Structure 1
Amino acid sequence: MNKFIQHINQFTEKTGRLVSWLSLLLVILIGLDVVLRYAFSWSSSANQELEWHLFATLFLLGSAYALKHNKHVRVDVFYSRFSENKKAWVNLIGTLIFLIPFCLVVIQTSIPFALDAWKIAESSPEPGGLPHRFVIKSTIPLGATLLLVQAISEGLNSLSHLLNSTNR
């Protein structure tokens, strides 16, 4: 089980580091957009949409990496005071009851959404907007799948911790 967890974590680490480069690209694009807008009074729908697409991709494909590094949103009022065993129980139960079902629902509902966009070769309705909107819509099921894989790793890691703590 630990080898399986390790493989998932390595995969998430690699994909997360790869996706993190989008943040640099996003900062450069936003900086360029600001300079063009204020220095040259020039703005573009395509630039603004590309910023939105990069942010969405960064958020969706980076969520598994954030979960792996425990950088996701959590209400820490009680959790921070819990013992390691209680934290493992909360993580395991939360993963099984909320996170995995959430990922499965998002995957199930977003695949037809993305496929429909591919079928019609969806593009931006804005004049001067970006073509190939179906690509960004495909990141929804992909991101949910990456998050599901990491959720399985987190759940197994919590289970492993609990099993090892009872054997001590």
Structure 2
Amino acid sequence: MRRFAQLIDAMNRWLGLTLRWLALLMVLVQFAIVVGRYVFGVNSIAAQESVLYLHGALFMLAAGYTLLVDRHVRVDVFYADLSLAARRRIDIAGHLLLLLPAMAALFWWSWPSVRNSWKILEGPISVGGIEAVFLLKSLIPAFCILVTLQSLAILVRLVAEEFEA
């Protein structure tokens, strides 16, 4: 099981370190859009939508990495003052009772929309936009899978630590 956790960690680490470059690309594309519009009077709906696609890919596909490096949003009013064992138990309960069911529900409820989008190869959001909304929607189940796998990898470690303690 620990080997499984290490493989998931490695995959999400690679994704996070690779996808971080999308942030720079997103800034450069947005800068080019602004310069094109206000300096040269040129506008492109597809270029504007590409920023949306880059943003979606960055945040949805790197969420597992964010969970791995423990940089996700945490409301820790009491958590920080608790013992390591108490925090570990809260983390186990949070993964089992909140995160994993939320990912399952999001996957379950989004799948029909993603499936239908692929069935018709759903076109652009706006006229003249990128003809790949089906790819954008596919980020939702990919997000669910990556976060679920990372959550399971974390759970393997937390449960192992709980039994070792």
> What TM-score comes out, normalization by structure 2 length?
0.93
Residue 33 of structure 2 contacts residue 47 of structure 2 at CA under 8 Å; is this kept in 1? yes
Aligned equivalents of 1:37, 1:164: Cα separation in 2: 61
* Equivalent position of 1:149 in the other structure: 149
Flag structure 1 segments of 5+ consecutive residues without an equivalent: none
Do the aligned residues in 2 keep the contact of 1:85 with 1:161 (CA within 8 Å)?
A: no
What is the aligned length? 165
What SS does structure 2 have at the residue aligned with 1:76? coil
Amino acid at match of 1:154: I
> Is there any run of 5+ residues in structure 2 with no aligned partner, and where?
none
Q: Is the 8 A contact 1:123 1:134 kept in 2?
A: yes
Q: Does 1:101 align with 2:101?
A: yes
How far apart are 1:3 and its partner, in Å?
2.3
Give the Cα separation in 1 of the matches to 2:59 and 2:125.
23
Q: Which moved further from structure 2: 147-156 or 32-41?
A: 32-41
**Structure 2 match to 1:55:** 55
In structure 2, give the amino acid aligned to 1:130.
Answer: I
CA pair 31-125 structure 1, distance change in 2 beyond 3 A: closer
How much does 1:159 deviate?
A: 1.1
In structure 2, C-alpha distance between the alignment counterparts of 1:125 and 1:11, rounded to whole Å:
31
Over aligned residues, Cα RMSD in angstroms? 1.3
**Is the alpha carbon distance of 1:110 and 1:89 closer, same or farther for their aligned partners in structure 2, counting shifts above 3 Å?**
same
State the alpha-carbon separation in 2 of the partners of residues 145 and 157 from structure 1.
19
Q: Say if 2:19 is the partner of 1:19.
A: yes
Q: C-alpha displacement at 1:125, in angstroms?
A: 4.3
Question: What residue in structure 2 maps to residue 158 of structure 1?
Answer: 158
Instruction: Provide the residue aligned with 1:133 in structure 2.
Output: 133
Structure 1 residue 141, shift from structure 2 partner: 0.3
Are 1:120 and 2:120 an aligned pair?
yes
Q: What does 1:65-76 align with in structure 2 at a 5 Å threshold?
A: 65-76=65-76
Query: Deviations 1:83-141 (Å, cap 9, x if unpaired)?
Result: 21111111100000010111111122222211101111111242211111111111110
Distance in 1 (alpha carbons) for counterparts of 2:32 and 2:86: 48
Stretch moving more, 2-11 or 66-75: 2-11
Residue in structure 2 matched with residue 38 of structure 1 by the alignment: 38
Checking the alignment, whether the CA contact within 8 Å between 2:125 and 2:133 is kept in structure 1 is no
Q: Percent identity?
A: 32
**Whole-Å Cα distance in 2 between the matches of residues 37 and 71 of structure 1?**
36
